[in-house]
Structure 1
Amino acid sequence: MFNRLRLPKGFGFTIPLFLLITIFFNFPLIYMLGLSLFSPNPTLEHYAQIFENPVYLEIVADTFRIAFITAGIATLMGYPLAYWITKLSLSKQIIAVTIIILPFFVSILVRTYAWIVMLGNAGVINGTLLKLGLIGSPIQFLYDEIGVVIGTINILLPFMVLPLYATMVQFDRRLLLAASSLGAKPFTVFRRVYLPLTLPAIVSGASLVFILTLGFFVTPAILGGGKVQMTATLLDFLINHYPDWEVAAGIATVLLIVTLLFYFLFQRGGTKTT
């Protein structure tokens, strides 16, 4: 009987990790779910408030829309950048990847405030466009959705480029030569061979950028200036200013469920291409 209950070899080494995940990850999620369902009594009233209040739904919808836009633009920028890096020599690839990784050593807060200098009405971008005569008046980048998207892409683009580069650098170039030898034109080779085999990396990078954007707080708060509301800023208001912890927990739970659903769809779409 005791032999049947014997734990797998090495199971003891996983206990600290299990406790760490349970205490710092699972318990807060369970507490958040319980707060939304059992405070003060078992009820769905807090969820009813969310779906009855159009402001909450609009902010959540705007958050997902911004996340989709950010992930889409990051894909369009990251894919050719990663491809270009793979075409460099090994020493230049190391330099390029190092440059991409370097921003991780700079605080997100500092990088976000730097964009105020770039995007302000008297900033570098507007100043340059005015001097070139391309615009007659400054473009409103700050405290608008476009500024939030630009700042978010700047911070999350490495999360798109690195998975793509890791896949592309290991790509078997003989497949491209084989397709070319069979008479396929370069664009056909890319569309029928290269793109499908790198599509799982696109899905992984895009899903990572998408999910990270959903929980962004610093960049929308600073570059949005309170005018661009996202779920993270809404939760901050409900927790620290209003406060309404139960509704905040309900919104966070809804966001978590929808995020997991999108993650499942992303991953299922990626596995179908392999």
Structure 2
Amino acid sequence: MHASLRRIYWWLIAPAVLLMLVFYIYPLVQVLWISVTDPVPGLGNYMELIERPLIHRIWMTTLRVCVITTAITVLAGYAVAYAMCQVGDRHRTWMMFCVLLTFWLSVLIRAFAWVMLLRTEGIVNSGLQELGLIDGPLRLVRNEFGVIVGMVHFMLPLAVLPIYSNMTGIDTRLISAARGLGASPIGAFTNVYLPLSKPGLIAATILVFVFSLGFFITPALLGGGKVVMISEYIQVSFEETLRWGQATMLSSTLLFSVLLSLALVARFVDLKKVFGAR
């Protein structure tokens, strides 16, 4: 009976496995194959990672923007999630609605909105000048600042949701017990609440960092060609310079970077517990 049930389970997941093989694994193998065969067979494309200063700069820009974006997003997401856990049900519902509302807006619309807000004649610069805080307009777009602002805005819900989900499972009586034993509010938070919310923090950090590595539209629009990240350079290699070997090499490197990040995190934490698996 046990063997027959196992066969039934395999037959049930067979369509999903087939779809993964056809629409994910096969194209991925093609990308890896092109990266070592175009324009000539070998590892010449991957040698560019070591030899070309331009690729070094692009990778350093990508990593710097992703790390800063992840740090700001996770800190802001933690604050929002913590506030959601402390307010009443009515306010919590409205806060959750505002968080989820961003998923209904196109990333393209949000990027253009930030361009209009942060441009030289935008609301932000006009407001600061009206308040007398600045004498002339600031350059808030076509640089890393604008890219980070747009990416943080997009990534914030991805940080809030896993952190909030983790926080809802924390027994608040533990905080009360710590206070009753003489801990200060800050001590109770740092020694009890913060460690218990660590799985949510780790999950949010992984999600935001991985999404940031491959982000394209927001850096392209808010960076204005001044801040080139790896995904934009892949697009240039595919469509403009037609260097498919280089483009697939960079795509493969991006994939390996994500896998390496997950492997490094897995050495210190149990990813199954972090993402709620049993």
TM-score range, shorter chain: over 0.9
Structure 1 CA distance for aligned equivalents of residues 265 and 133 of structure 2: 40
Q: Which residue of 1 aligns with 2:197?
A: 198
Structure 1 CA distance for aligned equivalents of residues 4 and 244 of structure 2: 43
* Residue 244 of structure 1, CA deviation: 0.5
* Large movers: runs of 4+ above 6 Å: 3-6
Q: Which residue of 2 aligns with 1:159?
A: 158
* Residue 75 of structure 1, CA deviation: 1.4
* Residue 175 of structure 1, CA deviation: 1.1
* Contact 1:33-1:253 at 8 Å conserved across structures: yes
* Residue 112 of structure 1, CA deviation: 0.7
- TM-score (structure 2 length as normaliser): 0.92
* Residue 38 of structure 1, CA deviation: 2.9
Give identity over the alignment, percent: 34
Matches within 5 A, 1:228-267: 228-267=227-266
* Contact 1:239-1:245 at 8 Å conserved across structures: yes
Listed as ranges, the gaps of 5+ residues in structure 2 are: none
* Contact 2:78-2:160 at 8 Å conserved across structures: yes
SS at match of 2:14: helix
* Contact 1:70-1:153 at 8 Å conserved across structures: yes
Aligned residues: 272
Counterpart of 1:159, as a letter, is L
* Contact 1:120-1:126 at 8 Å conserved across structures: yes
Counterpart of 2:203, as a letter, is S
Q: Which residue of 1 aligns with 2:80?
A: 81
Residue-by-residue CA offset, 1:21-69 (whole Å, 9 max, x unaligned)? 1122212211111111233554111111232111012101210110000
Structure 1 CA distance for aligned equivalents of residues 200 and 270 of structure 2: 10
Greater Cα shift, 16-25 or 220-229:
16-25
* Contact 1:204-1:270 at 8 Å conserved across structures: no
C-alpha root-mean-square deviation of aligned residues, in Å? 2.0
* Residue 130 of structure 1, CA deviation: 0.5
Counterpart of 1:60, as a letter, is W
Counterpart of 1:115, as a letter, is W
SS at match of 2:270: helix
* Contact 1:200-1:271 at 8 Å conserved across structures: no
Q: Which residue of 1 aligns with 2:108?
A: 109
Q: Which residue of 1 aligns with 2:132?
A: 133
Counterpart of 1:216, as a letter, is F
Greater Cα shift, 24-33 or 240-249:
24-33
Q: Which residue of 1 aligns with 2:171?
A: 172
* Residue 199 of structure 1, CA deviation: 1.1
Counterpart of 1:158, as a letter, is P
Q: Which residue of 1 aligns with 2:226?
A: 227
Structure 2 CA distance for aligned equivalents of residues 119 and 39 of structure 1: 42
Listed as ranges, the gaps of 5+ residues in structure 1 are: none
